[in-house]
């Protein structure tokens, strides 16, 4: 990374942990074989894959057989939602999700709407939460799938997965969770949580890009989206990317060791950031300020335009909205869903902190933010003369 950049966009992606990079390098040179090959070299690579699965299984407290390898959370979400909806089409065509979901979920549901499914888009409260009783009220006899994200990528809301899952279990509805921002960052015990399908990706927790996983609980079946081989019980055929999978496994191992320390580190940094920004006139926090994920703080400020703020903040690397959506000139639909106006949503900046963020980075961020707001406000027309 260029030395003058201050990276506070860990919700977009994280750097490889050195142990992950080393493990991948090792596998690339020593175990690059096809794990489906029925010879000694193939079995060597298969052992690498199984070891990685064991590490991920420990992180999530699940059995190895429940995990499928994918290319990342987008594919996992597609597999889970499309696969489950198609599998249970005979049961009903009503699906439920939230207005604050990631595009990798929203667009899948929109596709299903075009296929004849009916989708209820639930609005969250102002903190981004979906109260389980609100979900229960939306359930119908023909509801067959509910999908919510564990940690919101823009505002850091930690959803009540246990409460929502309990409602789903009570009514016999399949429950999918997009865990892209949660896996490897907060404790996720899928043996205890009433979750049927759980999507994750490695690059959000210091693993490589291009690999993820989908947890499919025992007794849950989904229709495959891809065809072409017997790998992964024909659910997701294709030669496994052994080095990427090994990297995911190593990242899961590192995450288990570091999670408690990471959360403490992030909480301290987030509080430092809030303290440094809270005296700015017109500043407000988007989403939860107290019980949200400590690695994400989304703030808005009156009388400042978001895109100009982002440029004025350079060399700070932050996001104005979902990273995947930043090319769009539209304001964040997530912020609109929690009740922010278009103008308010346009000034939003998401700070996402990570393992390598330092208190000095936060001090610099506070200083740059204050200067940028002051500068842009000085440019603003006061009123019509």
Binding of another protein by 11 (CB under 8 A): no
Minimum Å distance from CB 2 to another protein? 14
φ/ψ of residue 361, rounded to 5: -60, -45
Q: Which residue, among 254, 344, 363, 211, has the nearest Cα to 19 in the 3D structure? A: 254
Stretch touching another protein by CB under 8 A, among 62-70, 142-150, 194-202, 339-347? 339-347
Interface map 302-331 toward another protein (x if CB under 8 A)? -x-x-xx--xx-------------xx-x--
- Closest distance of CB 308 from another protein, Å: 5
Residue 356 in tokens: 């390598």
Residue with smaller CB distance to another protein, 90 or 380: 380
Question: CA 300, CA 143: separation in Å to the nearest integer?
Answer: 37
Q: For residues 153 and 319, is the Cβ–Cβ distance under 8 A?
A: no
Question: Is the four-CA dihedral 16, 19, 23, 25 of positive or negative sign?
Answer: positive
Q: Binding to another protein by residue 382, rule CB under 8 A? A: yes
H or E segment to which residue 178 belongs: strand 174-178
Instruction: Give yes or no: 168 in active site.
Output: no
Tokens 């288990």 correspond to 256
The answer to whether residues 128 and 152 touch, using CB atoms and an 8 Å cutoff, is yes
CB of 362 to another protein, least distance (A): 24
Q: Is 143 in the site for another protein (CB under 8 A)?
A: no
Of the listed pieces 57-65, 123-131, 211-219, 299-307, which binds another protein according to CB under 8 A?
299-307
Q: Does 346 bind another protein (CB under 8 A)?
A: yes
Pair 180, 201: CB distance under 8 Å: yes
For residue 1, state whether it binds another protein (rule: CB under 8 A).
Answer: no
Integer angstrom CA distances of residue 306 from 98, 270, 291, 329, 376: 25, 21, 25, 10, 10
Contact 316, 372 (CB under 8 A): no
Nearer to another protein, 189 or 307 (CB): 307
The nearer residue to another protein, 231 or 364, going by C-beta atoms, is 364
- Catalytic (active-site) positions: 324
* Contact set with another protein (CB under 8 A): 303, 305, 307-308, 311-312, 326-327, 329, 342-343, 346, 378-382, 384-385
């Amino acid at each position: 990374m260029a030395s003058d950049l201050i990276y506070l966009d860990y919700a977009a992606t994280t750097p490889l942990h050195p142990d992950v990079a080393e493990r991948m390098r090792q596998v690339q040179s020593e175990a690059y074989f096809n794990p489906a090959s029925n010879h000694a070299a193939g079995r060597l690579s298969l052992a690498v894959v199984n070891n990685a699965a064991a590490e991920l299984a420990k992180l999530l407290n699940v059995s190895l057989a429940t995990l499928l390898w994918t290319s990342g959370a987008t594919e996992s979400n597609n597999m889970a939602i499309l696969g489950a909806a198609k599998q249970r089409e005979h049961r009903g065509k009503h699906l439920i999700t939230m207005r604050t979901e990631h595009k990798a979920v929203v667009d899948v549901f929109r596709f299903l709407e075009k296929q004849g499914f009916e989708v209820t888009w639930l609005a969250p409260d102002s903190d981004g939460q979906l109260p389980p009783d609100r979900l229960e009220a939306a359930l119908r006899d023909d509801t067959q799938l509910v999908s919510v994200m564990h940690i919101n990528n823009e505002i850091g809301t930690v959803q009540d997965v246990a409460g929502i899952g309990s409602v789903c279990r009570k009514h016999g509805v399949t429950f999918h969770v997009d865990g892209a921002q949660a896996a490897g960052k907060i404790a996720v015990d899928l043996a205890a949580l009433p979750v049927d399908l759980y999507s994750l990706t490695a690059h959000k927790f210091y693993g490589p890009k291009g690999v993820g996983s989908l947890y499919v609980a025992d007794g849950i079946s989904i229709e495959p989206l891809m065809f072409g081989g017997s790998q992964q019980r024909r659910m997701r055929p294709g030669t496994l990317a052994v080095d990427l999978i090994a990297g995911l496994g190593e990242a899961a191992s590192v995450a288990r060791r570091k999670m408690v320390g990471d959360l403490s580190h992030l909480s301290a940094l987030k509080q430092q950031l809030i303290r440094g920004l809270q005296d700015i006139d017109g500043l407000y926090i988007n989403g939860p300020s107290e019980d949200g994920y400590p690695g994400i703080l989304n703030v808005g400020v009156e009388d400042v335009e978001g895109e100009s703020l982002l440029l004025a903040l350079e060399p700070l690397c932050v996001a104005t909205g979902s990273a995947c959506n930043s090319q769009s000139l539209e304001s964040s639909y997530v912020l609109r869903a929690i009740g922010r106006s278009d103008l308010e949503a346009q000034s939003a900046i998401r700070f996402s902190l990570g393992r390598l963020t330092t208190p000095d980075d936060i001090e610099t961020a506070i200083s740059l933010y204050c200067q940028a707001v002051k500068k842009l406000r000085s440019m603003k027309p006061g009123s019509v003369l």
